[in-house]
Structure formats: structure tokens, C-alpha cells
Chains A and B, each alone.
Chain A
Amino acid sequence: MIANYGYKDGSGEYYISIDTDKCIGCTAGRACLTGCPKGMFEIITDDYDDEVAAVKQSFRRTLAFDCTGCKPAGGYTSLPCSTACTPGAIKHSW
């Protein structure tokens, strides 16, 4: 399942997409939990009883601001969360 957490507002679309199929039997040792400097990820049991990563509820409305530390104005080449997730489950829409 692709889970899109985030929102669209007047300034743009801010979604973090997690391919939860890649979380099942995670080969990165749940590195997303420590990879994000803000600790935005958590492991939840989804509706199908799989343990998968998700963006914590408290961050879902403020992604544009919470992720700015890793996305300086001069551009970025890699993000700590998507780099830590070696199975490639985490993607940003912006």
C-alpha cells in the first residue's frame, strides 16, 4: 500500500509517501525511526496487521515547516529519511 501523509495548501503540495509493502520485513532495521532528525516516523500496526512505518499524527499538518531543516533553500541532494530507508519506501512530493 502507498500511504500518502500530508496536505495541499495555498503554497503547494506536501506529502510524504510510504510504500508500506517495503516496510514488511524491513531490511534497514527500521532506520527511518532514527534517520529523521525530528523523529517524525513511527511504526504502527496497519489495518491488515502489518507493522509498517507512518508519519506521526502531530507532524502531518506541518510537513512543509518540519522538513525545512533537511531542505535548505539552496536545494538538497539527499534526505536523511529516504537515505536511511534503503528499501526505498519513503518519498517526498516536494
Chain B
Amino acid sequence: MITAGIDMGSRTVKVVFLEELKVDGAPQLRWGVKGKHIMFPDDLDADQAADKAFEDALKGAGLTRDQVTKVVATGAGRKQVKFATSDVTEVGAGARGAVFMCPEAKTVVDVGAEEGRGVKANAEGKVVDFAGNEKCAAGAGAFAESMSRALQLSLKDFGEASLRSDKTIPMNAQCTVFAESEVVSLIHSATPKEDIAKAVLDAVASRVCAMVRRVGIEDEVILIGGMVHNPGFVQSLKGALGVDKVHLPDMPEYISALGAALIATDGDA
């Protein structure tokens, strides 16, 4: 059996196919990733983007639509995926995928482009407690992206630059718009770019950490979402969370799509 999870995020569309593995002896994973695909929708409408991402993912994995038994959608645009069998919230999908990747971690920190959230999950990957920030973009990837543009650095260089700084510059603004004006002030006062980059990422980490504290921080934490690719953010968040074991999965941006595909396998959705 092959199932699919499609995560319609605010910046990218992620697709993961899962196939049932032949299990000769326990303990082994029963499901394996058959293929994965990520797409920037650019100017496409959400429903067109979902179709294109899914078609491209099928092609990449060497599959046809008929071979996929069930498709579960998740993410901010999950209702736009017309061909999905069902949908699941990004909270439920993220928790399920994260616990599959790292069963020891019960606190899941998910930071994508539009929103960051903290989730406490049980051993089966079901959500016990969650908190997000419905209003403010300052705890999400889009904020870091916007600030990297203000510093005229690529997102990759922005993350790496922050690692070269050991200064702590507090950013007081909670709002992206006001934070940007703080960054401009720092640029005008000839503050080195690496110090500004660290200040921005510390601020994002602090906002995310406040949400995670609402649900409680367990001994082991797993970080998922595209922001995990930013090493500066990861370092800032590790410091803010104050835990020793922080797990970083290999494909952090696909974890919610993986969770949706897993939910499709057991008929939870």
C-alpha cells in the first residue's frame, strides 16, 4: 500500500509518499518513505499548486495516481487540496511525523514560514497540548527571511553569520514591522551584520520558546519545519529552551507531510 501526505504551507508545498515495508522481524519500521518533493508555488493558485506539486512528486517517485491509496492534506492551505481523501491540522500531522522520526522526543517545536508552534505529544504521536501564535509573524520563518533581506544577506549567509557573533543585542519590538525598523537603526549605527543576525534569530527563538513553555518542555525536544535549516536559529533556540537533547531530523520541512501520510496509513483521518 502507498499513501501520500501533502503539506500546503504558506511558502512551499511538500509531498511525501509512504510505502508499506515487508517486515521479517520486529522491531522494524513498517513504513518507509517512497519519495518526497518540495515546490515553491510562485504565482500559482493554491489548488493549481497542489495539483502540480503532486504530479511532480508522482513523477519523481515513479508512481501513478492509481497506485496511491489515500492522500491526506495538512498545512495552512489543506482545504485547497481538492483531490485529498481527508485533511488533518498541521498540529496533528506535525506531532505524528515528529514522534515517528524520534520516538524519544515528546515536545515538538514546529517553525515554518508563517507560524511557529509548540506541541506536546504522547508515545503514539497524538497531541496532548499545543500552542501557537495566531497573530504575530515575528516567531516564524517569514520574519527571518524579511530581516535577511534588510541586511542584504541570503538566508543561508544570514544563518551562518549569526554563528560568528557572541553578542546579545535585545530586540524589543514584538511586531515584524517595528522589528524591521530596529534592524534599520542597528544598521545605521554600524552594528556588524553578524550581531544583527544573531539579535534577530535570538528574538525569533525567544518568541517560539514562549509558546513552547505554555505546553511544557520535556527532556528531549525535536525541531521540525523549514527553520531547522538555519543553524543560527537552531543555536539560539537551543539556548532559549535550555535542554540538553534537541533532535534535528534529516528532512525537517517534510515532517508534517510525513505525519499526514502516516495518518493516512492507519485511517486516523
Contacts and interface: CB of A to CB of B under 8 A. Distances in A.
Interface of A: 1-10, 13, 15, 46-49, 60-61, 93
Contacts, number: 59
B63 interface: no
A49 to B, nearest CB: 8
B128 to A, nearest CB: 6
A60 B128 contact: no
Given A47-B88, A47-B269, A48-B268, A7 B127 contact: no
Given A47-B92, A47-B268, A61-B134, A8 B207 contact: yes
B129 A8 contact: no
B31 interface: no
A7 B128 contact: no
A15 B175 contact: no
Interface string B165-187: 00000000111000000000000
A73 B185 CA distance: 36
Contacts of A6: 134
A7 B175 contact: no
Given A10-B173, A47-B89, A3 B130 contact: yes
22 contacts: A1-B127, A1-B128, A3-B129, A4-B132, A4-B215, A5-B134, A7-B135, A8-B133, A9-B175, A10-B173, A10-B174, A46-B89, A46-B92, A47-B88, A47-B89, A47-B263, A47-B268, A47-B269, A48-B126, A60-B134, A61-B134, A61-B135
Contacts of B133: 7-8
Interface of B: 88-89, 91-93, 126-136, 173-175, 207, 210-211, 214-215, 263, 268-269
Nearest to B263: A47
A48 to B, nearest CB: 7
B132 A8 contact: no
Given A8-B210, A15-B214, A1 B134 contact: no
A26 B93 CA distance: 26
Contacts of B173: 10
Instruction: Please list the 5 inter-chain residue pairs (A to B) with the smallest Cβ-Cβ separation, ordered nearest first.
Output: A47-B92, A7-B135, A4-B131, A10-B174, A60-B134
B16 to A, nearest CB: 17
A5 B133 CA distance: 8
B122 to A, nearest CB: 10
A79 B93 CA distance: 33
Contacts of A10: 173-175
A15 B211 CA distance: 10
A4 B89 contact: no
Nearest to B214: A4
Contacts of B207: 8
B131 A15 contact: yes
A2 B215 contact: yes
A13 to B, nearest CB: 8
